[in-house]
């Protein structure tokens, strides 16, 4: 199994059977929201403008790989990251037989889906940012698809290939995709994950078990969800790779559903062991915020403080990182909206 430059495979936050993708409707409505919907012509015009305003500066061929290495980790700046991936993609296109290069650029492209996904507003799909993200998303699908095909033809082990193909299918449909397409992608991905994980529980350094566990936890039981099996797989993914940070909150949720609170508390404690220097600093501050929330839910103030302070330190040392204030503040809304005082109930 090949794991190289990025240190850790990116894990994405996909909504397996999320209802959050709007269902199609042609009914004409009159509300403020309905009145603000962009027309297809306006969308085309905006995207044409983006092709110009967000174009990357040319990079000499001999500098492209270094440009990729330096910029593709910039998960805090979608423009820098995109242009770095563009450089890496150019190199990969010139060296289609290099597994190392294709894998490195592929994993950056998958990372980029996650970066974009986190920028989408969860409750409103409109406005300039939404247009820009859609434009970036579609460009990234093109690159990631070509790179995945290159990896599928490489000498990588078959189970890893299945996991990578499944990961692309799931990540590329997180946004800008109809519910039907999302479900079809899931239908393609699940058998691949089941095959790969069935053959090797530690496939792709725990990524396969993490992905399959997450899907089995997220989907409702009436369409095959299984929290107990999910907990087993998520636990296995952490055992394989303790730095697989996305597994921790999902495993805690699964254990809470199964009413295994002591084990959930233990996993929270274990999550402190995620090595800060082993993952992208942006990932770490996002992870720490998530785990701080988990500590709040579990009622463990010491761990809440630990993650709060860890995050603050990381942000202070890396001022370029996105604090994601809107998301960070999401849990701070428990105040009286009139007075700003903590609600007492």
Cα–chain-centroid distance for residue 246? 9
* Residues 286-315: x where in contact with another protein by CB under 8 A, - otherwise, as a string: ---xx-xxx-xx------------------
Cα–Cα separations (whole angstroms), residue 20 to 126, 147, 176, 199: 14, 29, 12, 33
The count of residues in the chain is: 345
Asked if 188 and 168 touch (Cβ cutoff 8 Å), the reply is no
CB-based burial, 225-253: b 16+ in 10 Å, e otherwise: bbbeebbbbbbbbbebbbbbbbbbbbbbb
Per the CB < 8 A criterion, the answer to whether 95 and 65 are in contact is no
The whole-angstrom separation of Cα 121 and Cα 136 is 15
What does the block give as tokens for 145? 């698809």
Tokens of 88: 């890496």
Nearest distance, CB of residue 9 and another protein, angstroms: 22
List beta partners, residue 342.
335
Number of chain positions touching another protein (CB under 8 A): 69
Nearest-angstrom CA–CA distance, 116 and 102: 21
| 88 is a contact residue toward another protein (CB under 8 A) | no
Asked if residue 257 binds another protein (CB under 8 A), the reply is: yes
Task: Out of 40, 220, 299, 319, point to the residue binding another protein (CB under 8 A).
Answer: 220
What residues are paired with 335 via a beta bridge? Answer: 342
**Closer of 84 and 234 to another protein (Cβ):** 234
**C-beta of residue 186 within 8 angstroms of C-beta of residue 17:** yes
Of the candidate spans 11-19, 50-58, 59-67, 202-210, the one that interacts with another protein by CB under 8 A turns out to be 11-19
Q: Which of 114, 253, 283, 286 is in the footprint of another protein by CB under 8 A?
A: 253
Place of tokens 């910029």: 71
Alpha-helical regions (H) of the chain? 32-35, 40-53, 61-71, 78-94, 99-117, 127-152, 158-171, 179-199, 207-218, 227-240, 247-257, 261-270, 281-298, 301-317, 325-328
Per-residue mark of binding to another protein, 152-181 (x: CB under 8 A):
---------------------------xx-
Does residue 339 touch another protein according to CB under 8 A?
yes
Binding-site member from 193, 197, 219, 315 for another protein (CB under 8 A)? 219
The least distance separating another protein from the CB of residue 207, rounded to whole angstroms, comes to 20
Is 17 one of the binding residues for another protein (CB under 8 A)?
yes
Does position 43 interact with another protein (CB under 8 A)? The reply is no
- 209 vs 294 by CB, closer to another protein: 294
Which one of the spans 22-30, 78-86, 102-110, 240-248 is the region binding another protein (CB under 8 A)?
Answer: 22-30
Instruction: Confirm or reject binding of residue 36 to another protein (CB under 8 A).
Output: yes
**Interacting span for another protein (CB under 8 A) from 60-68, 126-134, 155-163, 201-209:** 126-134
**Is residue 53 a contact residue for another protein (CB under 8 A)?**
no
Q: Applying CB under 8 A, does 221 fall inside the site for another protein? A: yes
The residue (of 19 and 52) whose beta carbon lies closer to another protein is 19
Local structure of residue 63 (DSSP, 8 states) = H
In a 10 Å sphere around its CB, with 0-12 CB exposed, 13-18 middle and 19+ buried, how is residue 103 labelled?
Answer: buried
Write down the residue that tokens 């037989």 correspond to: 97
Residue from the set 1, 48, 275, 335 that interacts with another protein by CB under 8 A: 335
Among 1, 94, 122, 312, binds another protein (CB under 8 A): 122
Residue 49 CB, shortest distance to another protein, in Å, is 11
Intra-chain end-to-end CA distance of the chain, in Å: 53
Give the residue from 45, 107, 119 showing the smallest Cα distance to 79. Answer: 119
By CB under 8 A, name the one of 68, 103, 137, 217 that touches another protein: 217
Residues of the shown chain interacting with another protein in the complex, contacts defined by CB under 8 A: 15, 17-25, 27, 29-37, 121-129, 179-180, 183, 217-223, 225-227, 249, 253, 256-257, 259, 289-290, 292-294, 296-297, 325-327, 330-331, 333-340, 343, 345
């Amino acid at each position: 199994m090949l794991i190289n430059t990025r240190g850790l495979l990116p894990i994405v936050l996909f909504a397996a059977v999320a209802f959050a993708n709007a269902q199609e409707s042609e009914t004409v409505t009159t509300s403020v929201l309905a009145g603000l919907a962009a027309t297809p012509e306006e969308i085309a015009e905006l995207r044409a403008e983006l092709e110009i305003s967000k174009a990357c500066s040319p990079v000499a061929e001999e500098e492209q790989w270094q440009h990729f290495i330096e910029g593709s980790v910039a998960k805090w700046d979608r423009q820098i990251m995109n242009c770095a991936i563009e450089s890496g993609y150019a190199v990969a296109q010139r060296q289609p037989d290099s597994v190392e290069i294709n894998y490195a650029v592929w994993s950056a492209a998958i990372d980029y889906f996650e970066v974009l996904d986190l920028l989408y507003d969860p409750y409103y799909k409109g406005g300039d940012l939404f247009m820009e993200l859609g434009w970036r998303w579609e460009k990234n699908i093109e690159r990631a698809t070509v790179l995945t095909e290159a990896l599928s033809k490489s000498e990588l082990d078959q189970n890893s290939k299945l996991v990578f193909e499944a990961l692309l299918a799931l990540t590329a449909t997180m946004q800008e995709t109809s519910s039907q397409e999302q479900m079809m992608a899931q239908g393609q991905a699940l058998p691949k994950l089941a095959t790969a994980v069935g053959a090797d529980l530690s496939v792709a350094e725990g990524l396969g078990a993490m992905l399959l566990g997450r899907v089995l936890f997220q989907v409702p039981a009436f369409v095959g969800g299984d929290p107990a099996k999910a907990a087993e797989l998520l636990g296995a993914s952490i055992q394989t790779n303790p730095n697989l940070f996305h597994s921790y909150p999902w495993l805690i949720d699964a254990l809470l559903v199964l009413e295994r609170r002591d084990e959930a508390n233990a996993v929270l404690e274990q999550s402190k062991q995620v090595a800060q220097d082993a993952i992208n600093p942006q990932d770490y501050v996002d992870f720490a915020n998530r785990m701080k929330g988990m500590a709040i839910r579990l009622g463990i103030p010491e761990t809440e403080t630990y993650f709060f302070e860890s995050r603050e330190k990381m942000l202070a040392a890396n001022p370029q990182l996105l604090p994601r204030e809107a998301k960070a503040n999401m849990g701070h809304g428990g105040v009286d909206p009139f007075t700003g005082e903590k609600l007492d109930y």
